Amino acid sequence: MSKVIAQLIAGEWTESRSRELIEVTDPATQEVLVLAPKATHEEIEAAIASAKETFLSWREVPVSERARLMLRYQHLLKEHHDELAEILAKETGKTFADAKGDVWRGIEVVEQAANIASLMMGETGENVARGIDTASWIQPLGVCVGITPFNFPAMIPLWMFPLAIAAGNTFILKPSEQDPMTPNRLAELFIEAGAPKGVLQVLHGGREQVDALLTHPDIRAISFVGSVPVGQHIYRTGTAHLKRVQAFAGAKNHMVIMPDANKDQVLSNLVGASCGAAGQRCMAISVAVFVGEAKNWIPELAGQMAELRPGSWNDPHAAYGPLISQQAKQRVQRLIIEGKAEGAECLLDGSHCTVPGYPDGNWLGPSLFRGVTTKMGLYREEIFGPVLVCMEVESLADAIKLINDNPYGNGTSIFTSSGGAARHFQHDIEVGQVGINVPVPVPLPFFSFTGWKGSFYGDLHAYGKQGVRFYTETKTVTSRWFDESPVSGPNMTIHLK
């Protein structure tokens, strides 16, 4: 029987008493790698109680010491970079190069968390009234929760718990049940870096465990990344129980191609941005908007996409790996079938892709459509697979309107050699993250990840300055000191002049 992975509760790795176990499978072979428990009610309560108690002492640890913990942690993450990437690749199916990128982007956020002292500084104002000064102090919230998705099992947990803990909070991580081995290893290294017992807890499970965290009175803040329906549920439930919530949900990212762009750069970037990680990225480009004569490049795009080949994580020639599950593969296949039925022209169909030596893998080849309209499921739904749809418009204004009418606003990009067109696009577009000749504009962690509209529910975004603000409260202190005031003690009275 496969090993049941442990949970981290009150500083100890413990085997769950739950009899409900989730199979974690290799998406290239369907081999069961481990079993993940569904945390029991008692285990959830114990983790929350430990985090709540630990917060009282952790918040008093000097900010410089918390920063040094993050410095030690990022050093360990770098030492174990390839080991983490191999674990991640095996349980997600990502290529080794892609898995290393996943880990590295998380390390960059930990490096930002090591800068926590400057990010926790408040503000001061002298003589706001006669003899009165005001200062603001940035203080931690308490027990925070992170609910993370399957597609970035290193980067997204590292978006959350290092910054929250560096700010003085304690944290409970509930990683995806589809690939929990990587988050567990991240937590082991965090303990090795010197994290005190109870600062970080790791619980496993599904919706029942998530709902228990969403509704518990001792939880102060919840961070989530995942699908639209789950994101909406997280946001509604968490805020209904008076918690601070940031919920990153779905996306439909457009890339606008102007006819004055560099064709070779456009095509190579578009192929990678649409099919990288098998399209299982919330910032993947899933809609290519060709303006004017740029539509003539679509046949060449089809030729380049047709050369892509999926494969196993350790195949150096593989462009990307399998989808995470059979259910995910079947969903994408359904959308491809529906797209054809609705009248879209299918230039490439990867529905029946096979990989030699891996007959049971969740493989999909690259798929490309043109003639897609906004009423088709291919456009309305987030596909989350290696599928790209092409749309054709006459002008930049038409492209902007198309994107602004879309309910999502996670990321978008434009390829052009015109500074005027780029300036017009970035100013008028209603999307949170914009790339100019950059296909996937994910900001580095000293900025924040800023999805808009239906891609994000909440007020403060992930990592960067907004991430610190999400995990903290601001206390404003107004003070006045008199020129002469008696200070009384048991045996003396001192007059200050």
**So which residues are the catalytic ones?**
282
d(CA 199, CA 373) in angstroms, rounded, equals 50
Do 146 and 95 touch, CB atoms closer than 8 A? no
The dihedral built from the CA positions of residue 91, 456, 410 and 157, taken in this order, carries a sign that is: negative
Q: How far is CA 178 from CA 28, 328, 373, in A?
A: 14, 12, 33
Distance of CA 350 to the CA centre of its chain: 27
Residue type, 279: G
Structure tokens at 318: 């593989």
DSSP-based three-state secondary structure for 169: coil
Distance of CA 136 to the CA centre of its chain: 30
DSSP-based three-state secondary structure for 7: strand
Residue type, 162: P
β partners of residue 456: 248
Long-range contacts, stretch 341-347, CB < 8 angstroms, 24+ apart? 342/375, 342/376, 342/377, 342/378, 343/371, 343/376, 344/369, 344/370, 344/371, 344/372, 344/373, 344/376, 344/378, 344/389, 345/369, 345/370, 345/371, 347/298, 347/299, 347/302
d(CA 145, CA 222) in angstroms, rounded, equals 5
Q: How far is CA 469 from CA 69, 226, 375, in A?
A: 20, 22, 39
Among candidate residues 70, 209, 201, the one with its CA nearest the CA of residue 143? 201
Backbone phi, psi, residue 411, to 5°: -145, 155
Q: Which residues fall within 8 angstroms of residue 151, CB to CB, at 6 or more apart?
A: 92, 277, 280, 281, 282, 324
Do 324 and 280 touch, CB atoms closer than 8 A? yes
Per DSSP, 432 falls in state S
d(CA 413, CA 385) in angstroms, rounded, equals 19
Residue type, 421: A
β partners of residue 387: 367
Do 107 and 125 touch, CB atoms closer than 8 A? no
d(CA 225, CA 451) in angstroms, rounded, equals 11
Centre a 10 Å sphere on the Cβ of residue 193 and count the other Cβ atoms it contains. Answer: 18
Per DSSP, 26 falls in state -
